Amino acid sequence: MGFEFGDTRMTHKFPFERFLNTKPNENKHLLDEIFTEKTISNVKVEAKQRNKTSEEKLDPLAPITKALFEDLNTKIPQINFNTFIKNKIKLISIGNNLAIFSAQTEFIISTVEEAYITQIQDCLKNLMGEHYEIKFTLDEDINLSPGALNSLLEDNHSNNSKSLGKPSFTLDLTPTHEDQESKIESKFLNHISKENNNTGYSIDPSKTFENFIVGPSNNLAFATACAVADSPGKTGKYPSLYIYSDSGLGKTHLLHAVANGVFSKNPSLSVCLISARDFMKELINAYKDKALGEFQRKYTEQVDVLMIDDIHELKNKNSTQEEFFHIFNFLHDKGKQLIFTSDKSPDKITGIEERIITRLQWGLVIDIQKPDFETRTAILKKKALELDLFVQDEVLSLIASSVKTSIRELEGSLIKLQATADFIETEIDTEMARSLLKLDDSSDRPAATLESVCKTSSQYFKISAADLRSKSRSKEMVKARHISWYLSKNIVGATFKEIAIYYGNRDHSSVIHGVNKISEKLKNDPQLSKDILFLENNI
């Protein structure tokens, strides 16, 4: 697509020699034509006055773009580079510490701004020796408005001018304790609420299957999502998928992972990931703009994979449900992929028409349970690694034992610890973590012990504590005993030897075998996961 741009302003110190490999006097006529003082200071190129061939020859930014993209290709995964960078964005101006790119779509702009701005800035700094702010505009906007680029340049120049105006500064060498606490709390709250602010249109390239922590509470949902990403629609096993769970347990992460997986394996397919609320807003705007036909064509003719987050938000929205009903039928009949998430199973949603409930149940319906202790610990370790935060295993175990309801809350706890560690410049120990995260306030129950585990297990499995600690080897007894050992190791933190002594002076190798057996079964036994989660919450 051709485009117009109004200005290619560059500083007098622009390092042309980095990008030109010419011998003295070679192509001198062409160099004189392109790099005159007038070109460097202020040249306006009108695309309509030049054909494509001459434009390519006289584009002074082509060498920079080529070198920039070669560098970016080494820093961004190949599939992401091809999807969002190569032939998708173009450098159209650089100067005054501002680099302007044009892009084909708003989706590409939002994705690049969210995920790859830092890499672009780093590569530009390596090439040019200076830091550049990055701005984007649509290809079509530049075509329609030749002044668009000038406007961006003038905005940046205005901002630079303001910074050189009347000098002013704030001296804050001694921020108050309240200021620091406010900053720490704001980081925590921002993390807890960030997924609730999802616009529904941007697919987060950072949410992948590779960084999704799998445990017995979510392994079935994970495996199914992977299968859908590999073979979406009628070519796969699950053309319709419904995932439900409480908030903050990974449903939205799985949706983004499926979208990224489809992009990777089936880049020709069109993916639409949207929240139910934004789907409804889009329909309202279509009614208002008298563009209902365009709305319907978008979903019936352009979408290969439709993913709607929080489908329960459509309750009591009769007009939206009517359109959704017809879109569902059309896409299902064409063999397209449909994925929905909710906070409850289809039959538990109120305010949704029965015919829609029935269709939501046509496909595979899977729930995600709250993560068990091991999964919570793994999530904390992964997050600590991402934050480059060293935390003692005892602190991670304390958090994993206390925060059981939400993955976002788990991760938010580490973010609060990191902010505090940066403030006080010291390592966080268990007592500090307990006080900072108010873990004592979350539960008044005494710490778990070998005795409390045994007592809770005996009540749950309806087996006496004495029998649980005996040598009996009935199938039900062995299962209950192994689960008790597993909980004693992971919840209480007892050693294998301590567990062996408490449970009838056994050999500790038997305990090791029993704990490992439960850990292995948890990978594909949802009922076992529910048993252990119930016991955890009641010990």
**For 394-434, how does the pLDDT look when each residue is reduced to its tens digit (9 = 90+)?**
888 888 888 877 788 888 888 877 777 666 666 777 777 78
Stretch 307-326: mean pLDDT: 94
DSSP string, 37-53: HHHHH-----GGGS-HH
Residue 19 has a pLDDT of 52
pLDDT at 194 over 80: no
The residues, ordered by sequence, that sit 6+ positions from 303 with a Cβ below 8 Å of its Cβ are 270, 271, 272, 331, 336
pLDDT of residue 43: 39
Residue 27: which residues within 8 A CB-CB, separation 6 or more? none
DSSP 372: -
* 365: phi then psi, degrees, rounded to nearest 5: -110, 120
What local confidence, expressed as pLDDT, does residue 13 receive?
53
pLDDT tens, residue by residue, 471-525: 888 888 999 999 999 999 888 888 999 999 999 989 889 999 999 999 888 877 7
Q: What does the pLDDT read at residue 20? A: 53
206-265 pLDDT per residue, tens: 899 998 988 888 888 999 999 999 999 988 899 999 999 988 888 999 999 999 999 999
pLDDT at 512: 93
As a whole number of angstroms, the distance between CA 366 and CA 242 comes to 6
Task: Output the pLDDT for position 193.
Answer: 45
Q: What percent of the chain has pLDDT over 70?
A: 75
Q: Residue 122 pLDDT more than 70?
A: yes
pLDDT of 26 above 50? no
pLDDT of residue 17: 54
**pLDDT > 60? residue 58:** no
Q: State the pLDDT at residue 519.
A: 85
**How many angstroms separate the CA atoms of 253 and 69, rounded?**
29
- Whether residue 175 is predicted with pLDDT greater than 50 in this model: the reply is no
pLDDT of residue 497: 92
In the DSSP assignment, the letter for residue 402 is H
What stretches of 343-454 adopt beta strand conformation (E)?
Answer: 364-367
pLDDT surpasses 80 at 40: no
Which pLDDT belongs to residue 514?
93
With bands split at pLDDT 50, 70 and 90, how would you rate the model's confidence at 11?
very low
**Topology adopted by domain 373-441:** Helicase, Ruva Protein; domain 3 (1.10.8)
pLDDT beyond 60 at 170: no
**Mean pLDDT, residues 115-121 taken together:** 89
Determine how β-strand 240-244 pairs with β-strand 364-367: parallel
**Each residue's pLDDT tens digit, 358-393:** 999 999 999 998 888 888 888 888 888 887 878 888
| CB-CB contact of 406 with 378 (8 Å) | no
What CATH homologous superfamily does 16-163 map to? DnaA, N-terminal domain (3.30.300.180)
Dig out the tokens for 321 from the structure: 């449900």
pLDDT of residue 480: 94
- The superfamily CATH assigns to domain 450-538 is DnaA protein, C-terminal DNA-binding domain (1.10.1750.10)
**Alpha-helical regions (H) of 298-392:** 318-333, 354-360, 373-386
Q: How far apart are CA 416 and CA 280, in angstroms?
A: 36
Q: Tell me what the pLDDT averaged over the chain comes to.
A: 78
- The answer on pLDDT for 444 being more than 70 is no
41: how many CB neighbours lie within 10 A of its CB?
A: 12
- pLDDT exceeds cutoff 50 at 39: no
* Distance between CA atoms of residues 35 and 281, nearest Å: 51
Residue of 111, 194, 203 lying closest to 407 (CA atoms): 194
Residue 461 has pLDDT above 70, yes or no: yes
pLDDT at residue 151 in the model: 52
Q: Give the pLDDT score at 305.
A: 95
Q: Could you tell me the pTM of the whole model?
A: 0.53
In the chain, domain spans: 16-163, 199-367, 373-441, 450-538
Four-residue CA torsion sign, 515, 518, 522, 524: positive
For 454, other C-beta atoms within 10 Å of its C-beta total 22
379: left (phi over 0), alpha (psi -120 to 50) or beta: alpha
pLDDT at 169: 40
**Segment 135-169, tens digit of pLDDT:** 998 877 665 444 545 555 555 444 444 433 433 34
Phi, psi of 173 (to 5 degrees): -80, -20
CATH number of 199-367: 3.40.50.300
Residue 432 to residues 102, 400, 417, 425, Cα–Cα distance (Å): 49, 16, 9, 13
Segment 250-267, tens digit of pLDDT: 899 999 999 999 999 988
Please name the residue ranges forming H helices in 12-147.
28-34, 37-41, 52-57, 62-75, 78-84, 106-115, 117-128, 139-144
Residue range 320-344, pLDDT digits in tens: 999 999 999 999 999 999 999 999 9
Q: How many Å apart are CA 221 and CA 215, to the nearest integer?
A: 10
What per-residue confidence (pLDDT) applies to 53? Answer: 43
**pLDDT for position 48:** 41
